[in-house]
Each structure stands twice: as structure tokens, then as C-alpha cells.
Chain A
Amino acid sequence: MDFLSLFSIFVLSVFVGFYVVWGVTPALHSPLLAVTNAISSVIIVGGLIAAVASKGIIDLSSTMGLIAVLLASVNIFGGFMVAQRMLAMFKKKK
């Protein structure tokens, strides 16, 4: 994809993010931090590409990729689970 298309996606996403996040209730700002944390770990795709590219041979690039996959996994699992744990606690008056 050319730069302009990607950049358009970027700019529009910033706007979407802006409006969606203003809609988040302040009470849930902590879970918001945890969820954004988890989803920004989609950077794992970069790690996967690097890890796969060397076809099983361990070199600098694939090692970096694997470490990135490991770190991002901590975040993905940890972020979503801690968000879920927090959200489970928010209850209405009985």
C-alpha cells in the first residue's frame, strides 16, 4: 500500500480514537489503560514476521522477533485479563 493510503487510515483512526475515547466513562479509565495496553500489543505481528522469516534458523533478527512475541504475549494475556478482572468488579446497586 502506498504511503498516502496508510497515512489516510492513520489520520482517520486518530479521529475515531478521539471520539470513542471521549465516550469512555471516567469510572472506567483504569480498565481503558489495561485494554489499550493489550491491544497495542498487536505489535506482536511484527515479532511474528521476524520470527518466521529465518525459517527456524536462530539469528539476530529471529531472536529479536521471538523476544518481541514473548513480551507482547505477556501484555496481551496480562492486559486483557486484568481488564476483565477489573470490569467484573463493577457492579450496580442490588
Chain B
Amino acid sequence: MNTTIIGFAYLLSGVLFILALKGLSSPVSARKGNTYGMLGMTIAVATTLYGAGSGLDLSSYTNIIIAVAIGGLFGSVLARKISMTALPQLVAAFHSLVGLAAVFVAIGAYKNPAAFFEGGIISTGSMIEMSLGLAIGAITFSGSVIAFAKLQGLVSGNPLVFKGQHLINLIIFLGILGLIYMTAVDPMNATTEQYFWAIVGLSFFIGFLVVLPIGGADMPVVVSMLNSYSGWAACGIGFTLQNTALIITGALVGSSGAILSYIMCKGMNRSIVSVLLGGFGGDSDDVASAAAQPKGNVKQGSADDASFIMGNAQKVIIVPGYGMAVSQAQHALREMCDILKEKGVEVRYAIHPVAGRMPGHMNVLLAEANVPYDEVFELEEINHEFATADVAFVIGANDVTNPLAKTDPQSPIYGMPILDVEKAATTLFLKRSMASGYAGVDNDLFFRDKTMMLLGDAKKTTEEIVQALNLS
């Protein structure tokens, strides 16, 4: 009876998690979905404590409550205080915690088989599942730590590559598989413990090695991928504990992260393999190491020029990029668009799938600045509209507008879907410098007659345009 109730309860929480994700199909239903998710979590936790039944005494309770209180408080404060620009690193940090928790659960289970396995015996199957969960969890942890450090700017966002890297990774990876096999041969043997710890160590190590060579601009893929890993790690542990809620959730998260990685890779026309091999896409723009090599005449404009052009336009399409996030220009941008709308200009926003440092980054920043989401469009939805737009206002984006992606098969960004800003009557580029983008490719749009460059900090420039618009 007891196990039946518990089984149903875990199933229910799994279903609620599915509904939580389902809710995200539209901003209208998303908040309700989030509530389902919290409910599912509450049920899962309550069920586990109920299932522990007689084993539960007061001091365990106290310890658990203290742990939840500390963790919960910390998480809540973090979630409230974090600035929306710092979201990518927060997400990376959260992934690392899931990975680490998986590692600790695996260790806990291994060191106390009586509590986790029937008859206190770890079977070969359970050991394989547990070791897989352990290894993936450890990789998720260390990989996310590096991703966090890169996003936070603690480690250079430039790819770190050295000779023989891929060979070393391959050897370590095969080593981990070998160790998993070794642990499974005779799980209850005392010598197995050394293999177990070796898996922990090597997996931590390979997680570092895998993410280090990946450049800052590829971070949307990395963040999605680590999201996926954290799900598979939960799955591995779910099989070990024979817990359906954990298996269902792990599978959901695993496939979710995989889909996001796929979407991000497609947005860059790169294969997941080439991203993982790394070495592409450093911090670009801000570093400005590549001095501009003038390939023609650059038309530089002032805020007054920009305000004049946009004030007389009928339709303006805004193309935000990572540069907007860096300079926190979203609020000034929305102010500018408000004035334009008052003047009767039609304003829309065009989002490239890989703009920013994580999936959906730009959408959140615009939402933060109170831009209504029905003015914000995805690449496929809006790309045909550039032809009828008077102005394309590119703020802190570069490579995602580069027509070379269509015309030059030699270019590293060839085949990447781009926003057709070149088709607008005028293209305004807000950029910090003339440096090339993350791919290290010149954008020849900068040198076209229809283009006007506004060099400087995106926020400052936008504020100047706002002033100029107010005066006119």
C-alpha cells in the first residue's frame, strides 16, 4: 500500500514538471506552469520524507530543515538580487550545483548501500547507473564552474587551446569508461572504492578541459549543453534510486538542454562537434585587439544624425546584440523607442537566436526594460521585413548581420543565418569600435553607403539620441 501511494505521488510530481515546461509555450501560461513546477517539487520532497517513514527521527529532521533553510535562503536572495545582465552566469552556477549534488548523492549511496539498495547489495546494474550519474554530475559541475568563470569574466573568454588537447580529452574519456567498467565488475569489493574516487577525479578534470577551449561567443551552446548534462546526471541517479520522478525529470531536462544546444548550433551554422572541439570565438569587440583595417570609407554619424533619420522614418527595426547587454543599454533603448512610437514610427525588435550569452538572453533584457513581447520577433518571423524598413538600428550586434555569411564560402561564418539589415534603407550601427566581431571577420556592411556608424558606448549613444529626439 505504502509503496503504491509513494509511486503515484512521484508520478504526479513528474507530470507536474511536464506541465511546468508545457506552460512555457506562451508567456501567458508560463507563470501558472511555474507554480505547477513548485507544487511538483513539494510533492517529491514530502513523498520522500514520508517514504523514509520509521527511519526518520527528530535530529535528521532538524538537520534537513537547517540544510533546506540555508540553501533556500541563499538561493532566494541570489534570485532576487541578481541583475538580469548577469543571468547567464547565474544559470551556469546553478547547473554546477545540480552536478555537485548528483556527485554527493552518488557518494552517499555508495557509502551507505543499506539505505539505498535492496538487501544493502549494490548490483552490477545499479553500480553502472550510479557511476554514470556520478561521472556526468562531476563533468557538469566542473564544466559549469569554468563556464561561470568565463561569463563572469574571471577567466578570459578567449578560447584556450593547446597542442594534443583532443587526444588528452579522448584518453581521459576512455579512462572514465574503463573505470566505470571496473567498478561494475564487483561493486561490493573494497578495492572498487579506488575506482569510484578515480571516476570523481577524472570527471572533474575532463569537465574543466572540455569547457576551457570554448570561446565566449559559443557560451549559449555551452550553457544549453551543461543544462542537458545536469538532466542526464539526475537520470543516472534516478535509475540508481529507482525513482520515477527523478528519471522523468532528468529525461525532460536532458532533452530540453539537447534541443536548446541544437537550436543554438543551428543559429551559428556550426556542428555541436565543432563547438565542443573549441577554439572559436573569443571576447571580440571589447578586446578590440584587431585594429580596424579600413577597407573603404566609413561614414560616421552623430546622435543628432541618427535622431533625424529615425524621427523621419516610418518603420525602424531594432537589432540588439551582446553589446547592448554589456553596456546595459536596454532601458535607454526602450525610452528611445517610446519617443519614436509617439512620433508615429513603427518600431519592432529582431532577435537572432544566438544573440547574447544564453538562449533567450535578449528577450529577457528587453522584457526587463518593459518592451512588450509582442513587439519582439524571431529571425524567421521578421527577416523579410527589413526590405520595407527605413532604418535597421543595430545595437551591439555584428556577426549576426554580416552578409558575408551568405556570399563568402571561405568565411568562418558562412552559412550562418543572418538578419538582413543590409536590406533596410539605412543601417545604423552602434558599436564600441571598428573591431571585427567574435568570429574575427570584417563586416563589410560598415563600409557601405547606406550604413552609418555611431561609435562609442551603446548606452551613452542611445541616451544622446533620446536627448536629440526630445529636442526635435
Contact = CB atoms under 8 A, between A and B. Distances in A.
Does chain A bind chain B? Answer: yes
Interface in B339-378: 351, 353, 358-361, 363-364, 367-368, 370, 372-376, 378
A80 B45 CA distance: 15
A72 B297 CA distance: 56
A35 B38 CA distance: 10
A66 B63 contact: yes
B171 interface: no
A47 B248 CA distance: 18
A9 B98 contact: no
A52 B114 CA distance: 12
B259 to A, nearest CB: 5
Interface range on chain A: under 10, 10 to 19, 20 to 34, or 35 or more?
Answer: 35 or more
A86 to B, nearest CB: 5
A18 B259 CA distance: 7
B380 to A, nearest CB: 10
Contact of A87 (B13, B34, B116, B361): B34
Given A21-B255, A45-B243, A77-B75, A28 B30 contact: yes
A34 B59 CA distance: 33
A71 B17 contact: no
Residue from A52, A66, A85 whose CB has the most chain B CB atoms within 10 Å: A52
A32 B359 contact: yes
A83 B102 CA distance: 22
Contact of A33 (B64, B114, B359): B359
B201 interface: no
B16 to A, nearest CB: 9
Interface in A62-89: 62, 64-89
B50 to A, nearest CB: 11
Nearest to B242: A1
Contacts of B105: 43, 46-47, 50, 64-65, 68
A45 B45 contact: yes
A44 B71 CA distance: 12
Interface stretch (B78-86, B147-155, B205-213): B78-86
B251 A10 contact: yes
Interface range on chain B: under 10, 10 to 19, 20 to 34, or 35 or more?
Answer: 35 or more
Contact of A37 (B38, B49, B98): B98
A38 B68 CA distance: 14
B246 A46 contact: yes
B447 interface: no
Contact of A17 (B47, B254, B263): B254
B364 A86 contact: yes
Given A47-B101, A68-B108, A61 B20 contact: no
B253 A61 contact: no
Given A60-B107, A82-B87, A87 B374 contact: no
B18 interface: yes
Nearest to A51: B64
Interface stretch (B158-166, B233-241, B448-456): B233-241
A25 B242 contact: no
Interface stretch (B223-231, B270-278, B404-412, B461-469): B223-231
A49 B376 contact: no
Given A36-B256, A41-B98, A16 B108 contact: no
B296 interface: no
Contacts of B38: 80
A40 B78 CA distance: 18
B121 interface: no
A53 B227 contact: no
B181 interface: no
Contact of A78 (B20, B75, B359): B75
A12 to B, nearest CB: 8
B70 interface: yes
B70 A52 contact: no
Interface of A: 1, 3, 6, 9-11, 13-14, 16-18, 20-56, 58-62, 64-94
29 contacts: A6-B238, A10-B235, A10-B247, A13-B251, A21-B252, A27-B27, A29-B358, A30-B360, A34-B94, A37-B253, A40-B253, A42-B40, A45-B45, A45-B243, A50-B105, A52-B64, A53-B55, A64-B104, A68-B100, A69-B67, A71-B97, A75-B75, A76-B75, A78-B90, A80-B37, A81-B79, A82-B87, A87-B30, A92-B27
Given A6-B242, A20-B252, A79-B79, 9 more contacts: A40-B249, A42-B41, A52-B49, A60-B111, A61-B115, A64-B105, A73-B69, A78-B79, A94-B372
